[in-house]
Structure 1
Amino acid sequence: MRLASLLPLALAASFACAQMPEATTTVLQHARLIDGNGGTPMADATLVLRGRNIAAINPAKLPAGATIVDLSGKTVMPSIISDHSHLGQIQDGKGGAGLYTRENLLNQLAQWQAYGVDTIVSLGLNDPTVFYPMRAEAHTGTLPGADFFGADRGIGVPNGAPPTPAQPGPYRPATPEEARAAVREMVARHTDLIKVWVDDFHGTMPTKMSPAIYGAVIDEAHRYNVRVAAHVFYQADAKQLVRDGIDILAHGVRDTPVDDEFIALLKQHGTWYIATLDLDEATYLWAQHPAIMDTPFFQHAVSPGLAAHFTDPAWRDKVNGNTQTVEQSKAALAQNKANLKRLVDAGVNVGFGTDSGANTERIPGFAEHRELHLSVEAGLSPMQAITLATKNAAAEMKLTDRGIIAPGKRADLLVLDADPSQDIDNTQTIRAVWHNGKQVSGPVTSFEPR
């Protein structure tokens, strides 16, 4: 057998992909294994990778001719899946139109992957002319960076959410029939999901989407066996959406404590729920310069333009000076945490996402680790949080080939220097990321964002 160590730590993801030989079989030995199912980690585990998949765990005999990678002292877990992110909305600390380009998407997908997020769902605001060709490449494994799925352009309403300069932007139907026509156009392009923006963004938008519009969207999408995700804030909206057949609530309820009726509705309909705790925290946290901003794990997710944005005194004064918005965001985060804990305890289908990439403050890759941290602050155990971000996140998207470590599943793996079952922030001790059975990056300190 040939012996091999981890690839040199300074390799960038693209270099690793280009240089690593196409080994038929690789054996990862002596690792602590977190398989994504939520059980006790397995000590001194052996994984056999063949091609892009996991072939065996702890086999009686190692395959002849395999490349051996010694992971003594390391922890292996499934790579992270984000069920709610956005492509092409930000670039180097700026947002606006004209950012949905192949080059920008490649940079973003590389950043998610360097931070251990091997699959994302771009939940609306996608440019079909760029999105679909790149999605096809990603699914075949020929596109570097994270694999991705998406919700085409999505559907808002005139004078309503989302307030975005993105082009082509969402459809904005004024009637149920216009909404149905928008659905049919997206279905014809083979979208993975349909997205609707329902609420009024804390009362900042003059119009909310009416039940007549989103009811038509849900009905039409379901005619074609396509699921629908909704941007929500208020519990009353969320209840009506669930009654009308929504498949995914793409944000947590943040106005009131979730009640027994809502929990019963979610369980009755099998609706999936994504908290996106990081969303509200990110509106104010970086202007306060917490200690985490001085760590390499944060700094290597921040491009030069974004670093300048975060240190701009005018921006920081504006955010910190808007005390009403800061307090509103803190209250929403606290309510979101409490609701997440109650829903997980109640056995509701809970996925994982952050809204990363939607604006400059929601940082691709880093946001997912922050979401894990906030989930544990909410009262989840580290293993519960990891399960949301792996097994549950895959199940929400019906991705049966990933999300857990088991024979036959894709070898999308995180290798960590420390055990996140003991401290969730140990997901930040990334030693290597594997995608489709190959190591594609090392520590995040080897990654330079653009």
Structure 2
Amino acid sequence: MRLKSTVFIFWLWLSAIAARCQAPATLQLIRDVRVFDGEHVFEHRSVLLEDGKISRIGGSELKVTNAEVVDGRGRTLLPGLIDAHVHLPNPVEKASRQALVLGVTTQLDMFNGGYRLKLIKKFESEDRPDIADMRTAGTGATVPGGHPTQMGGGPIPTITAPDQAQSFVDARIAEGSDYIKIIHDDGSTWSWTTQRVPMLDNATMRVLVEAAHKRGKLAVVHVLSEQQARDAISAGADGLAHMFVGESVGPDFGRFVSDHHAFVIPTLVTLYPDCGKSEGPATLADPNLRPYIGEGWRQSMEMAKRNLQLNHLCNGTDVGIRQLVQAHVPLLTGTDAPVPGTTYGASVHVELALLVRDGLTPVQALAAATSVPAQAFHLSDRGWIRPGMRADLVLVEGDPTTNILATRNIVAVWKRGIRAQR
């Protein structure tokens, strides 16, 4: 009797997993839709999905026998969105499921370890259709007592000298790191505490970057001040995880980053709570987003409040972003979810609006969440709507290429051609 009960429970579990997504039709045709292909906008296109990939792209007159037809009139088809900066929690599945139904088909985790890292790698290898795909930095490089060790969570590997860099990087890659995260932050810009913490010296940071490159991995550096950003770029970092917080910025900052061919993941939606400009409450008030946000993350988002007296702390942040835009520095959409004021999936749409407010056109912002992170992180099978690419797609009502808020009007999401159950 116990065996029968166990088998029945297992069957129910399998059924629940299957119910989270719809099995793909052999052929699906999204007809007469506006297409943002990752770079350009095309009107009245039809996109054929077959076996998890984009098979053909044609005009609105394209007809395919035995295809399930999705009406694209008045709608826009986007590549699946990429959140280039998250920290996946426990349970990983819940966060990645929420991200997917809100249009984020890929999440780039920027610090994790232990059991959670193993779980992320498991899901990465499975590439399940009912949760967002994921990549991870694994455990980031920091010194003993450095950020984020002050936040608890148990002991992590640390580094104290340049001659330890290669072995540190090799160990992270052996654990499954898809890219290397480096922490260069002493807490001097944190508004919520006066605590200062030790940080990596520039020589060690430079050798860490070299060690990552030797193994064919990107080196992404966490910074929160302009000087830290300049140090990281000078050390050869491929990209910055965060724009910095500051009241001012040097006039040459944008050109400096551009000259070194680095990218930046601004995470404005995360930085603004430090300046009393949290978007958390407004995100929760959006009827297109709130129904999909888990209760636990709703509470976290409500924690971050607005405070006009702190707004000046981000003056340099905003000016710096405009410099980066003018200097054509690649900007990637990232949220740092689930820090207070943010959550998975929903905060990507908020970040897009903030990037437009700070100088990107809607088309440039859409690229920052699709083709630009795909190119930066060498995800060559996604980020564009082209024949042969993964059918990771988002269909929205309206035209986000002229009104970025339209990304929130989600009609359907596909991962590998499988339509997510929303």
**In the alignment, what sits opposite 1:70?**
71
SS of the residue aligned with 1:297? coil
The 2-side partners of 1:62 and 1:130 are apart by 46
Letter matched to residue 266 of structure 1: V
1:53 paired residue number? 53
What is the CA-CA distance between 1:168 and the residue it aligns to?
4.8
What does 1:40-439 align with in structure 2 at a 5 Å threshold?
41-58=41-58, 62-88=63-89, 100=90, 104-124=91-111, 126-142=112-128, 144-165=130-151, 167-168=153-154, 170-201=156-187, 202=189, 204-255=195-246, 256-260=248-252, 262-283=253-274, 284-285=276-277, 289-290=281-282, 292-308=283-299, 327-328=309-310, 330-357=311-338, 359-439=339-419
Q: Which amino acid aligns with 1:238?
A: A
Q: Distance in 2 between matches of 1:166 and 1:23?
A: 47
Call closer, same or farther: CA 1:361–1:387 in 2, change over 3 Å: same
Structure 2 unaligned residues grouped into runs of 5+: 1-15
Distance 1:289 1:351 in 2: 24
Q: Classify the secondary structure of the residue corresponding to 1:238.
A: helix
**Per-residue deviation at 1:107?**
0.1
Q: Percent identity?
A: 26
CA distance in structure 2 between the partners assigned to 1:211 and 1:149 by the alignment: 27
* Paired amino acid for 2:251: D
Pick which of 365-374 and 265-274 moved more: 265-274
Determine helix, strand or coil for the equivalent of 2:374. helix
CA distance in 1: counterparts of 2:375 and 2:155, whole angstroms: 28
Task: State the partner residue of 1:28.
Answer: 30
What secondary structure sits across from 2:208 in the alignment?
Answer: helix
Q: Is residue 198–residue 209 contact of structure 1 (8 Å, CA) maintained in 2? A: yes
Task: Provide the C-alpha distance between the structure 2 equivalents of 1:144 and 1:332, rounded to a whole number of angstroms.
Answer: 40
Instruction: Please report how far the alpha carbon of residue 35 of structure 1 lies from its aligned counterpart in structure 2 after TM superposition.
Output: 1.4
Return the letter of the residue paired with 2:127: G
Distance 1:308 1:242 in 2: 36
Contact 2:87 2:110 in 1 (8 A): yes
The secondary structure found in structure 1 opposite 2:43 is strand
How far did 1:161 drift? 1.2
Structure 1 residue 263: deviation in Å?
A: 3.8
C-alpha displacement at 1:169, in angstroms?
A: 5.5
Shift of 1:339: 1.7
* Kept in 2: contact 1:180–1:217 (CA 8 A): yes
| Post-superposition CA distance 1:124-174 (Å, at most 9, x none) | 1x1244434543443443363100101011112222212554545643222
Counterpart of 2:376, as a letter, is E
Mapped to 1, the partners of 2:18 and 2:317 lie a distance apart of 40
2:35 is matched by which residue type in structure 1? L
Segment of structure 1 superposing worse, 371-380 or 52-61: 52-61
278-287 vs 383-392, greater mean Cα deviation: 278-287
CA RMSD of aligned residues (A): 2.6
From the superposition, tell whether residues 82 and 170 of structure 1 become closer, same or farther in structure 2 (CA, over 3 Å): farther
Task: Tell me: CA distance 1:129–1:288, structure 2 relative to 1, closer, same or farther (3 Å).
Answer: closer
Letter in 2 for 1:408: G
Partner letter of residue 113 of structure 1? L
Contact 1:412 1:437 in 2 (8 A): yes
SS in 1 for 2:220: strand
Q: Deviations over 1:164-219 (max 9, x none)?
A: 54545643222233444322210222311111111123163232321122123112
Amino acid of the residue matched to residue 124 of structure 2?
A
Q: What displacement does 1:369 show?
A: 0.6
One-letter identity of the residue aligned with 1:259: P
Report if aligned partners of 2:137, 2:179 keep a CA contact under 8 Å in 1.
yes
- Sort the Cα spacing of 1:398 and 1:426 in 2 relative to 1 into closer, same or farther, 3 A: same
Larger displacement relative to structure 2 (302-311 or 426-435) = 302-311
Q: State the alpha-carbon separation in 1 of the partners of residues 378 and 222 from structure 2.
A: 20
2:10 corresponds to which residue?
A: none
Shift of the alpha carbon at 1:30? 1.6
What is the rounded CA distance, in whole Å, between the counterparts of 1:182 and 1:58 in structure 2?
Answer: 49
Query: C-alpha deviations, 1:346-366, integer Å up to 9, x for none?
Result: 122222212122x24221111
Residue 134 of structure 2: SS of its match in structure 1?
strand
User: CA contact under 8 A between 1:250 and 1:273: conserved in structure 2?
Assistant: yes
Q: Separation in 2 of the partners of 1:200 and 1:68?
A: 55
1:122 to 1:161, Cα distance in 2 relative to 1, 3 A = same
Q: Per the alignment, in what secondary structure is the counterpart of residue 441 of structure 1?
A: coil
**Aligned residue pair count:** 399
Is the alpha carbon distance of 1:413 and 1:166 closer, same or farther for their aligned partners in structure 2, counting shifts above 3 Å? farther
5+ residue gaps in structure 1? 1-12, 89-99, 443-450
- 2-structure distance, mates of 1:21, 1:128: 33
Which amino acid letter does the alignment assign opposite residue 34 of structure 1? F
Provide the C-alpha distance between the structure 1 equivalents of 2:109 and 2:301, rounded to a whole number of angstroms: 25
Q: Is the 1:418–1:426 contact (alpha carbons within 8 Å) kept by the matching residues of 2?
A: yes
Moved more, 292-301 or 409-418: 292-301
The CA distance in 1 between the partners of 2:278 and 2:260, in whole Å, is 38
